Chains A and B, each alone.
Chain A
Amino acid sequence: GNSVTQMEGPVTLSEEAFLTINCTYTATGYPSLFWYVQYPGEGLQLLLKATKADDKGSNKGFEATYRKETTSFHLEKGSVQVSDSAVYFCALENSGGSNYKLTFGKGTLLTVNP
């Protein structure tokens, strides 16, 4: 079956530090990969996505590259801000008939200090 494994948190960084949150997956076929972000007190929001191998998703300074050879989709940002403090979820959608059904990782809490 499908599964997503992401880096255990919490992660605490100082403002302007480099961020990496690791994510690896197991899936049959050719899944689409996502990063969702959940700010305190809010619902999940799509941060970025990639639908095929070697695609790079990017948004708000965050990037992740779909690596089929390593089954990974690591999230990176060169310089984090306090406002990036949130929980980040890696997810996959196996479009082989499941029609938008998402499998999530456990989430990584990021805290950025001024």
Chain B
Amino acid sequence: GAVVSQHPSWVICKSGTSVKIECRSLDFQATTMFWYRQFPKQSLMLMATSNEGSKATYEQGVEKDKFLINHASLTLSTLTVTSAHPEDSSFYICSAPTWGTQYFGPGTRLTVL
């Protein structure tokens, strides 16, 4: 099956700093990728749709200036958490569709101290 990778798999940062998370489709091209946030023992919450070559589409309640998304190529989307605070600590997951199926990355655990 298709493979989606994320980097880093976990990151710890200080409050006020910015963190970039990469999502790559390794063996297919993706004009669209999705970013989710997963809280402990809860479901995945869609944050935004990343569109190659254009602006991302954010879900209601998600601050676009805080969660910057860039989809610069057909295989890479990045999510930058700007001025991170402890409440941004979470598990961030990306996905990309191909041939009618969504493939998910393994997730990135962000801890903000």
Contacts and interface: CB of A to CB of B under 8 A. Distances in A.
Given A42-B106, A43-B105, A46-B101, A101 B43 contact: no
B104 A101 contact: no
Contacts, number: 45
Interface string B37-73: 0000111101001000000000000000000000000
A44 B104 contact: yes
A101 B49 contact: yes
Given A100-B34, A100-B102, A44 B49 contact: no
Contacts of B43: 89, 104-107
Contacts of B93: 43-44
Contact of A99 (B32, B41, B44, B107): B32
B2 to A, nearest CB: 10
A66 B74 CA distance: 33
B13 to A, nearest CB: 21
A104 B103 CA distance: 14
A45 interface: yes
Nearest to A103: B46
A86 interface: no
A46 B106 contact: no
A107 B104 CA distance: 16
A100 B97 contact: yes
Contact of B44 (A45, A49, A89): A89
Interface of A: 36, 42-46, 49, 89, 93, 99-107, 109
16 contacts: A36-B104, A42-B106, A43-B4, A43-B93, A43-B105, A44-B104, A100-B32, A100-B97, A101-B34, A101-B46, A102-B46, A102-B95, A103-B46, A104-B44, A105-B43, A106-B42
Across chains A and B, which 3 residue pairs bring their CB atoms closest together, nearest first? A43-B106, A44-B104, A100-B97
Given A106-B42, A107-B43, A109-B41, 15 more contacts: A43-B93, A43-B104, A43-B105, A43-B106, A43-B107, A44-B95, A89-B44, A93-B102, A99-B32, A99-B97, A100-B32, A101-B34, A102-B34, A102-B46, A103-B46
